[in-house]
Amino acid sequence: MGRIRTIKPEFFKHEELFDAEEETGLPLRLAFAGLWTVADREGRFEWKVRSLKSDVLPYDKVDFSRVLDALATRGFLVRYRVDGREYGAIPGFKKHQVVNNRESASQIPPPPENSDPPKGSTRTSRVDDACPTRHDLAQGEGKGREGKGREEESSSPPLARARGGAEGEGASLGFDPDEILDEVREALGIRAPFPTYWQAVHAIPHLIRWVQDFGLRPEQIVPAVRRSQENYDSPPDGPKALDGVMQRLGRDLAQPSREERPPRRLALVKPPRDDAPTFDLAAEMDAAFAKVMGEGQ
């Protein structure tokens, strides 16, 4: 049974939550606010993916286990286990909610003292299955089992078509997209079984885009991936997170270097000719004054 909760105007300006939603493509803000209505007066709830989805996002075709994992890995939720049962808690719930005194007491045990919320930003702590595409495209990802968070590459006809299209593009480009993808995943430290959006059916179209749209050569991609990963402890959720890196690299490479730029033309000042007539201002003024005085007489 849902409960009436309070939402503050500042919620709509929460930058970290917005960034997490943009990065994963999942409806995190709506889901997070919906979980407030499911949680009890202490901000706790049972971690039952199917029940939570029916209460929070009943009509959205999205894997709600990925939504919960994305919120938990970024510190918006705490997931814990007591006596073999899984629960969730919302940090700071009591600080931001004014709970009705008549609401019944919590029947859910509190989190153990050692279950601190995961720390990290949208890059330092990631959920493997956070989808980098918009959640309204999730209906093309196949049925999949609730809570499993991964789907086989052959489970969806749209994905199979994407796979076939990528192979055709690879042949025309003169390089093997699968080989480049293997090198990219190795550079990021991604091992099999691969997360959904690092599988070939999702990742290869991005490789094709980096080459076709951004003008990169295949041998430039892997070094750029390594450089982009230097400041992060975990790989990105999917190749879409690297689109900006590759676009900037392509733009930089398209600009001529300083050595290649044509030299600037300098305006030359011609020296005066020796036979050029000179102009004596004082003499001209004397002549003009004498002429005026002569006409006056």
Residues 107 and 214 in one domain: no
What gap in Å lies between CA 230 and CA 223, rounded to an integer?
11
Residues 142 and 18 in one domain: yes
What pLDDT does residue 43 have?
92
What pLDDT does residue 170 have?
46
Residues 36 and 85 in one domain: yes
Residues 53 and 165 in one domain: no
- Total residue length of the chain: 297
Residues 11 and 139 in one domain: yes
176 phi, psi to nearest 5 deg? -95, 110
**pLDDT tens digits, 20-59:** 999 889 999 999 999 999 999 999 999 999 999 999 999 9
Residues 112 and 192 in one domain: no
Per the structure, the complete domain to which residue 11 belongs is given by 1-151
What gap in Å lies between CA 77 and CA 8, rounded to an integer?
18
Residues 138 and 162 in one domain: no
Q: How many domains does the chain have?
A: 2
Residues 118 and 162 in one domain: no
Strand partners, 87: 46, 80
Q: Which residues of the chain have pLDDT under 50?
A: 116-171
- In this structure, is residue 200 part of a structural domain? yes
What single DSSP character describes residue 254?
H
What pLDDT does residue 99 have?
86
Of 197, 188, 183, nearest in space to 153 by CA: 197
- In this structure, is residue 260 part of a structural domain? no
111 phi, psi to nearest 5 deg? -65, 145
What pLDDT does residue 169 have?
45
Residues 168 and 147 in one domain: no
| Dihedral of alpha carbons 286, 289, 295, 296, sign | negative
Give 113's Cβ-side CA count (13 Å radius). 0
Residues 145 and 166 in one domain: no
What pLDDT does residue 190 have?
87
- In this structure, is residue 289 part of a structural domain? no
Residues 88 and 168 in one domain: no
- In this structure, is residue 1 part of a structural domain? yes
| pTM: predicted TM-score of the whole model, two decimal places | 0.42
What pLDDT does residue 271 have?
66
Residues 38 and 100 in one domain: yes
